[in-house]
């Protein structure tokens, strides 16, 4: 310890923070925060020192290194409060910047020699990450986001949040592994392959944007990876047919394989519609190519009117069809 510090005795430090992380190991307190955010840490002191001055200082803790004391007003970047009933001093450092990282000391003024505990502040940018996993899907469809993690995180909490701010991701998660279903979001964890997946159903255009896959760590910063989701607009086609006559529907094919599953289903929602291809007498598959295929509906009935979805098994290759069924008016003269 530098000569400017008169003594060094360990104080118990505890955590009082949501946007920072504090670890105590063999007297060294590790504090983790993000740029632009704030950190809190607390110091417990012994009985008999309730009325003594407490302070926080940086570097060698000389007189010019003292940042704030309990005798000063709380304003600006540093704030300190002293709860004398439970003998806890809480320190807040706001609007963190990269140059704020480093060594701090929590001090209690005594007759003779002060007491100190060492605090090390780690700071990261509040953004993630250099590598972005870009995925696409289509409106009213679904998408599965895959998030790999390491072997040390098998039993840790997993979560997904919107945006690109690690500091608030866990608090604002749209779903976590402690609650596997949350509305349109569903999470599953394959611990053998060390990948957790989040499926988002009934996609809308507003679902486009950045997401963070997160894994909670017991110490330090949580682990994150970034996903950029693009939801493409679903194409809607209006088709009219005549009762007792056939109508042809043109549907897109994924082009990935010639024998993939083709579908035509009827209903108001893509993820909850009735498969019509089972009735091969009335719904006939024709003209299959790598980009499209045709379905002929023979002898239309009034009940055939409604909303259809058709395409291949690819989430990006289907369309929405609104089918209207009319009839021929015969005029007798």
Over residues 10-38, mean pLDDT: 60
Q: Are 37 and 116 part of one and the same domain?
A: yes
Confidence tier at 3 by pLDDT (50, 70, 90) = very low
- The tally of domains found in the chain comes to 3
pTM, rounded to two decimals: 0.78
Confidence tier at 257 by pLDDT (50, 70, 90) = low
Quickly list DSSP for 43-79.
EE--TT-TTS-EEEEETT--GGGEEEETTS--BTTEE
- Using the CB atoms, write b or e for 222-242: b if 16+ within 10 Å: bbbbbbebebeebeeeeeebe
List of residues 6+ apart from 85 with CB closer than 8 A: none
List the one residue out of 289, 311, 293, 256 whose CA is nearest residue 140.
Answer: 311
Tell me, yes or no, whether 331 lies in a domain.
no
pLDDT in tens, 33-75: 999 999 998 888 888 888 999 999 998 888 889 999 999 888 8
Q: Are 261 and 226 part of one and the same domain?
A: no
Mean pLDDT of the chain: 87
Are 37 and 19 in contact by the 8 Å Cβ rule? The answer is yes
> Can you tell me the distance from the alpha carbon of 318 to that of 251, in angstroms, rounded to the nearest whole number?
7
pLDDT in tens, 263-272: 999 999 888 8
> Can you tell me the distance from the alpha carbon of 194 to that of 51, in angstroms, rounded to the nearest whole number?
53
List the one residue out of 207, 206, 235 whose CA is nearest residue 308.
Answer: 235
Over residues 253-277, mean pLDDT: 83
Cis peptide before 129 (omega within 30 of 0): yes
Domain range for 254 is 236-326
Q: Are 78 and 36 part of one and the same domain?
A: yes
Tell me, yes or no, whether 136 lies in a domain.
yes
């Amino acid at each position: 310890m530098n000569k400017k510090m008169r003594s060094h005795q360990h104080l118990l430090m505890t955590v009082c923070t949501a946007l920072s992380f504090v670890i105590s190991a063999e007297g060294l307190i590790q504090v983790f925060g993000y740029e632009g955010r704030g950190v809190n840490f607390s110091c417990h002191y012994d009985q008999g020192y309730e009325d003594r001055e407490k302070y926080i200082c940086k570097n060698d803790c000389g007189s010019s290194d003292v940042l704030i004391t309990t005798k000063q007003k709380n304003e600006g970047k540093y704030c300190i409060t002293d709860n004398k009933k439970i003998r806890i001093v809480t320190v807040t450092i706001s609007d963190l910047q990269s140059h704020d990282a480093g060594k701090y000391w929590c001090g209690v003024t005594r007759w003779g020699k002060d007491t100190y505990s060492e605090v090390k502040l780690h700071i990261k940018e509040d953004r993630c990450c250099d590598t972005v996993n870009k995925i696409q899907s289509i409106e009213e469809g679904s998408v599965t986001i895959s998030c790999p993690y390491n072997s040390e995180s098998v039993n840790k909490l997993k979560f997904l949040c919107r945006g690109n701010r690690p500091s608030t991701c866990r608090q604002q998660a749209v779903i976590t592994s402690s609650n596997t279903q949350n509305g349109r979001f569903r999470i599953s964890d394959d611990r053998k392959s060390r990948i957790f997946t989040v499926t988002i159903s009934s996609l809308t255009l507003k679902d486009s944007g950045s997401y963070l896959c997160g894994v909670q760590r017991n110490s330090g910063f949580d682990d994150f990876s970034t996903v950029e989701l693009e939801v493409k607009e679903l194409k809607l086609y209006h088709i009219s047919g005549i009762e007792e006559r056939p109508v042809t529907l043109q549907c897109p094919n994924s082009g990935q394989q010639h024998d993939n599953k083709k579908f035509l289903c009827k209903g108001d929602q893509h993820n909850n519609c009735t498969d019509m291809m089972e009735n091969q007498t009335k719904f006939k598959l024709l003209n299959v190519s790598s980009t499209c295929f045709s379905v002929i509906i023979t002898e239309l009935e009034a009940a055939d009117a409604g909303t259809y979805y058709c395409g291949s098994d690819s989430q990006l290759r289907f369309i929405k069809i609104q089918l209207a069924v009319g009839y021929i008016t015969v005029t007798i003269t």
